[in-house]
Amino acid sequence: MPNANSAVASPQDAARDLPRLAQRARARLLAMHFKAGVGHIGGNLSALDALLCLHHAALGADDAFILSKGHAAGALYASLWSCGQLTDAQLDTFHADGTRLAAHPAGGWHEAIPFSTGSLGHGLGLASGLAFGRRLRRQPGRVHCLMSDGECEEGSVWEALMFAGHHRLSNLTVMVDRNGLQGFGATGEVASLEPIPDKLVGFGFDVEEVDGHDFGAMTAAFSRSSDRPRMILLRTVKGRGVSFMEGRMEWHYLPLSPEQFALALAEVEAR
C-alpha cells in the first residue's frame, strides 16, 4: 500500500531505524489518547515496540495479524500510521463518535484488521482457525497474533493452544506481551501461570523468550520458522518510555491530564 502520510518514514527506512520510529510513534500514541481522553495507555506502550517491529520488519504481503489484546488498539493504529496505512486525520478520530478507530479494533473495514477483538481470550482461537484454514487451502503466508499475559488466564486460550498444537500449525506465530500486570494487580498474584514456557512446550509449541523492547532480538525471533506453531514470550514493561507510568498498574486505566501529557511527551521526545 502506498504511504498515505508523507510525514512518516517509508517502511524501508523505518526497518533500518526502528528506535527513532518508536520515539515518533510513542509521541503520536500519547497525543491520540490524550485528545480522546481515554486510558489503557500502559498496555499500549508495552506492546508498541513489538507491533512496530512486526509491521516494519516481519509481516509479508501474504501474512495476517490479529490483535487479541484489543485494548491495545491505539498501539495497532499508531503502527499502521507509522507505515502509511492510516493518516493523521484518521488517528484524530480515535474513540470519537462515528469513528472506525474504536477503542477495540472493529474488523473488516481495513485489510489489516480482519476481526473485531477485545473480548479477551478470543484472538488466539481466531488466529488458529485462520491458520488452519489457510493450510487446508494451501495458501501462503503466516498468521501472527499478539496476546496479553493476563489474557492467558482465560480458558478459551488453552482450548486454542490445544487445537494449534494438535494440528501442528507451523504457519502460526503467537506473541504474548508479558508486562506482568493486569487490571487487578500483578499476573503472578491474580492467577499465576508459571512456569508458562514449560506448559506451552507441553502443548506442542516452539517457545522462545525475548526482550519485547529489543528490536534486534524481536526481528530475529519473528523471522524464525518451525515445523510447530511458534510462541514468542515478550518481556515488556507496562508504560514503557514514560517514567511515571512504567510498572504502574493504574495506567491500565487512567487517561492523561494536560500536565501529565506535557510531561510524558517531553520525556518521550527527549529520548
Q: Which fold has domain 11-270?
A: Rossmann fold (3.40.50)
In degrees and rounded to multiples of 5, residue 102 shows phi and psi of -75, 170
Q: What angle do CA 25, 259, 96 make, to 5 degrees?
A: 55
**Using CA of residue 86, residue 90, residue 94, residue 96, what is the dihedral sign?**
negative
pLDDT value at position 15?
54
pLDDT value at position 81?
97
Please report which helix (H) or strand (E) contains residue 16, including its range.
Answer: helix 11-16
Low-confidence ranges of the chain (pLDDT < 70): 1-16
pLDDT value at position 2?
32
Q: What residue ranges do the domains of the chain occupy?
A: 11-270
- Cβ neighbour number for residue 32 with a 10 Å cutoff: 23
pLDDT value at position 119?
81
Residue 27 and residue 228: Cα distance in Å, rounded? 37
pLDDT value at position 12?
46
Of the candidates 231, 232, 227, the one whose C-alpha atom is nearest the C-alpha of residue 135 is: 227
Of the candidates 160, 58, 36, 55, the one whose C-alpha atom is nearest the C-alpha of residue 110 is: 55
Residue 7 and residue 3: Cα distance in Å, rounded? 9
